[in-house]
Amino acid sequence: MNVRKVGIVGCGLMGSGIALACAKAAIPTVVCEVNQELLEKGIKRLFSYIEKMIAKERATETDRETIKSHLSGTTDLTDFHDCDLIIEAIPEKIELKTELFTKLDKLVKSEAIFATNTSSLKVKDVARSTSRTDRFLGLHFFNPVPVMKLVEVVRTDEVDSEVFKSAMAFIERLGKVGVACLDTTGFVVNRLLVPYLLDAIRAYQAGIASVRDIDNAMRLGCGYPMGPLTLLDFVGLDTTYHVAEIMTCEFGKEMYHSPILLQKMVKKGLYGKKSGRGFYDYSSDEPVPNDKELQELVSAEDD
């Protein structure tokens, strides 16, 4: 099945990035949000990003015009009626995802493919909310979507082989690499990545090294492009917490359990870059370690 038009549900950090990637590939793309304010905020973020890429000569003015001519926004799910592929990028809560897909199942054409961008839930658990489990798969993009080449393409035991092939071809059209995964909690990347990120938090919490030094150690010692605490800020501390909780329930292993510091940061609203503060403070042009606030949380935990 050739994907001629794409619908994206959610215009947050992930949704706007997926929309940008689709529109940049000259695929007509409709992105939907729950209200006009959030929609405009997401689209503004999208174009702000492309302007920064143009300034750095990593994108062109032609890219910007291609995106403008292939992207539209809506607050009405019925505008997805003629989409060939609909990708969900809403919060990592199964009740929200199943409610959404139950609605979409009745609104769009029967041959449309559904995809969830879940990073930790089992795809089949979300697919059960629809009448098209054979046309339902996972497309797990990575943040920041315009830069990251990988997409985990998650295949359930019910998805049609031609639908899976279409999804892989679509990912290739975006200039990305699709990795075929079985439908298991965390897929490939998070199954390996989450324990590493949580251990980085534990190392800071134990006073082994500073925020900057932990990040530099893994960047310069292991050749990683980004340190673990910086990566946590980009992923979102709240997202990491939810993923860790799901994986703890699934596998029952201590390595997936959220450290106390992560729990306290999430409770305080320190989600990382999207909230302005996490392991780093993003209030200035150059992020700086958020040492004072973090040490207060560590000390409170010690008490």
Q: Tell me, what's the pLDDT at 50? A: 95
Q: CB neighbours of 82 closer than 8 A, spacing ≥ 6?
A: 5, 108, 109
Section 49-72 average pLDDT: 96
C-alpha neighbours within 13 Å on the C-beta side of residue 71:
28
Q: Which of 33, 88, 92, 152 is catalytic?
A: 152
Global pTM reads 0.88
CATH code for the domain defined by 191-302: 1.10.1040.10
Q: Which of 16, 117, 119, 129 is catalytic?
A: 119
Q: Which of 16, 120, 140, 242 is catalytic?
A: 140
Domain boundaries, the chain: 6-182, 191-302
Question: Tens digit of pLDDT for each residue in 119-158?
Answer: 889 999 999 999 999 999 999 999 889 999 999 999 999 9
Q: Tell me, what's the pLDDT at 143? A: 83
Q: Indicate whether 92 pLDDT > 90.
A: no
Q: Indicate whether 302 pLDDT > 90.
A: no
**Gap between the Cα atoms of 86 and 302, Å rounded:** 47
Closest C-alpha among 217, 264, 212 to residue 238: 264
Hey, what CATH class is 6-182 in?
A: alpha beta
CB count within 10 Å of CB 128 equals: 16
Q: Indicate whether 1 pLDDT > 80.
A: no
Given the structure tokens 């990028």, which residue do they identify? 89
Q: Indicate whether 49 pLDDT > 60.
A: yes
Strand segments, DSSP code E, in 127-285 are: 136-141, 150-155, 177-182, 280-281
Asked about 140 being catalytic, the answer comes back as: yes
Q: Which helix (H) or strand (E) holds 115?
A: strand 113-116
Strands 136-141 and 150-155: antiparallel
For residues 155 and 166, is the Cβ–Cβ distance under 8 A? no
Asked about 190 being catalytic, the answer comes back as: yes
Q: Tell me, what's the pLDDT at 144? A: 86
Q: Which of 166, 190, 258, 290 is catalytic?
A: 190
DSSP string, 68-108: HHHEEEES-GGGGTT-SEEEE---S-HHHHHHHHHHHHHHS
Same fold? 6-182, 191-302: no
Q: Indicate whether 70 pLDDT > 90.
A: yes
Asked about 152 being catalytic, the answer comes back as: yes
Asked about 242 being catalytic, the answer comes back as: no
